[in-house]
Amino acid sequence: MATGYEGSASGTPARIAVGEEGERVKPFTPEKAKEIIMSLQQPAVFCNMVFDWPAQHWTAKHLSEVLQAKQIRFRMGLRSTDTVPQFETACSYVDATLEEFLTWNCDQSSVPGPFKDYDHSKFWAYADYKYFVNLFGDKTDVFREVMWSDFGFPGRNGQESTLWIGSQGAHTPCHLDSYGCNLVFQVQGRKRWHLFPPEDTPFLYPTRIPYEESSVFSKINVVNPDLKHFPQFQKARRHMVTLSPGQVLFVPRHWWHYVESIDPVTVSINSWIELEEDHLARVEEAITRMLVCALKTAEDPHHPRAWLNPTEVEEISHEVNCCYLNDAVRAFFDHRGKAEDVERQALQANRETWSKDKPRVREHMDVDRAHSQGLAGRTGKPEVAHLFGPDLVPVTPASEDPPSERGGTLQSDSRERINRDGARFAELSCARRQQASRGAGAVAEQVTSRCPAAPSRTFVSTDDLLDCLVNPQVTRMVAQLLIQGKSCF
């Protein structure tokens, strides 16, 4: 029998690899897939990796039979061509079963039931980022139908995944996720992904309003941009890919994405993979939460829904946000201690001298990066670029064609959390959606119960934070950004 895996040569024609005994084999071992994920700095599509996953049969129809009377919240959006993004704060919401959704979507005429006020020709519906645990409860057999272990993450399955079910036109506004990188399995229908590299962030006009833990939104509707107000967007390098069933998209850390459903029904499953860099990102997120909540509550204490994304259950008090920040800082130092231990052991093994000086944050982040890289290093494409071919298709910059004229099949238009160290803090802020699912009240309670009674050496007070935020270098940069932003109008 063959090894069960076969390397793919760049430039070979599309083919299905078979082993000596005629069985279909995957193009990458889990180790190789993980190496690609940890080193590639550009989005790419994995092909022929999930043909044996039971979840490949999870059409919306199948899921409606599994979930039966389960009520699911659908986000309802307008099929509009506005230049303003349709943020979640501007959408309405319907609680319905998947069967009711399918009836509304198939009949395309007004049907009684929860969707009766939504003309199918004017609206789309999206059951978006639904954590499996909320949908399927403790059905561990269902979780096991998703097998991220094939990508080098042993034990990772549906329990760490989210499900997205949409009608044609359903979309997620352009944003970047603060934590991790992302694997997305397209199950039914096609979705078109518009991606932009992290270096293009200034051209995407980032905003934290609406506020959502771990999401930075763009002020631009990237499929119909207002170039008069946002002229720099012309410099953004759009990468586009249409993801078809059976394909898995890898979205590297901090890549912006706008995602639209282009078939009548789409189903996809994704999992955010935690990275070492997230330790610092958690501190940044905690600072952001504290600032946004303080200023927006001061501006208007009575209407948090105007600025708080519906995925965030409630705004959280200054006291609780201080605890978030302190938890994040403590987790950072804990992790740094562990990273230093590993580094020290490695250095001793190599009979090298260990410097007694404590590494500074910047140096530490370099160490972090080296650790998260494994053998390949997160330095860019060269290490794995030779693997590009029919089984790993790079997503490359789009041509000048307007998005509406593009499409087709991938067919690219362009032709565990890795370690459990983060789990302690991941409970609090791994991703916005986890918080929402458990209720901010519960999270707040947990945080306050952990907050130190007596300040520790690393305790961050409000004054400590203010000292940094109103540091003259920071305020100068803020002033420049404010003026720059106002100069566009």
Ligand X SMILES: O=C(O)CCC(=O)C(=O)O
Q: Which residues bind ligand X (CB under 6 A)?
A: 128, 164, 172, 177, 182, 184, 191, 257, 259, 268, 270
Minimum CB distance to ligand X, residue 261 (Å): 7
Number of Cβ within 10 Å of residue 437's Cβ equals 16
Minimum CB distance to ligand X, residue 85 (Å): 13
**Matching residue, tokens 């490949």:** 56
State how far the Cα of 225 lies from the Cα of 211, in Å rounded to an integer. Answer: 22
State how far the Cα of 177 lies from the Cα of 434, in Å rounded to an integer. Answer: 14
DSSP for 366-425, please give it: HHHHHHHHTTT-SS-SHHHHTT-BTTEEEP-B--SS-GGG----SS-TT---S-GGGHHH
Residue closer to ligand X (CB basis): 271 or 297: 271
As a 3-state breakdown, the chain gives helix, strand, coil percent values, each rounded to 5, of: 40, 20, 40
Minimum CB distance to ligand X, residue 379 (Å): 24
> Quick one: tokens of 219?
């002020």
Minimum CB distance to ligand X, residue 133 (Å): 17
> Quick one: tokens of 324?
């978030």
Minimum CB distance to ligand X, residue 130 (Å): 11
Residue closer to ligand X (CB basis): 25 or 241: 241
Residue closer to ligand X (CB basis): 48 or 266: 266
Looking at the DSSP bridge assignments, the partners of residue 217 are 175, 207
State how far the Cα of 202 lies from the Cα of 211, in Å rounded to an integer. Answer: 19
Q: Tell me which amino acid residue 378 is.
A: R
Minimum CB distance to ligand X, residue 271 (Å): 9
Burial class (CB in 10 A: 0-12, 13-18, 19+), 371: middle
Residue closer to ligand X (CB basis): 79 or 424: 79
Residue closer to ligand X (CB basis): 260 or 276: 260
Minimum CB distance to ligand X, residue 117 (Å): 23
Minimum CB distance to ligand X, residue 195 (Å): 11
**Matching residue, tokens 């991938």:** 410
Residue 211: strand, helix, or coil: strand
Minimum CB distance to ligand X, residue 258 (Å): 8
State how far the Cα of 479 lies from the Cα of 397, in Å rounded to an integer. Answer: 33
Minimum CB distance to ligand X, residue 86 (Å): 12
Residue closer to ligand X (CB basis): 245 or 389: 245
State how far the Cα of 139 lies from the Cα of 159, in Å rounded to an integer. Answer: 10
Residue closer to ligand X (CB basis): 165 or 290: 165
Minimum CB distance to ligand X, residue 184 (Å): 5
Q: Residues 390, 11: contact at Cβ < 8 Å?
A: no
Residue closer to ligand X (CB basis): 167 or 268: 268
Task: Tell me phi and psi for residue 251, to 5 degrees.
Answer: -110, 115
Among residues 13, 71, 69, 45, which one has the least CA distance to residue 411?
45
Minimum CB distance to ligand X, residue 99 (Å): 22
State how far the Cα of 336 lies from the Cα of 421, in Å rounded to an integer. Answer: 11
Helix (H) or strand (E) holding 242: strand 239-243
Q: Residues 132, 145: contact at Cβ < 8 Å?
A: no
Residue closer to ligand X (CB basis): 259 or 287: 259
State how far the Cα of 184 lies from the Cα of 161, in Å rounded to an integer. Answer: 10
Cis bond upstream, residue 210 (ω within 30): yes
Looking at the DSSP bridge assignments, the partners of residue 241 are 193
Minimum CB distance to ligand X, residue 403 (Å): 15
Residue closer to ligand X (CB basis): 178 or 268: 268
State how far the Cα of 62 lies from the Cα of 98, in Å rounded to an integer. Answer: 10
Residue closer to ligand X (CB basis): 189 or 394: 189
State how far the Cα of 101 lies from the Cα of 127, in Å rounded to an integer. Answer: 10
Residue closer to ligand X (CB basis): 259 or 384: 259
State how far the Cα of 363 lies from the Cα of 350, in Å rounded to an integer. Answer: 20
Residue closer to ligand X (CB basis): 195 or 447: 195
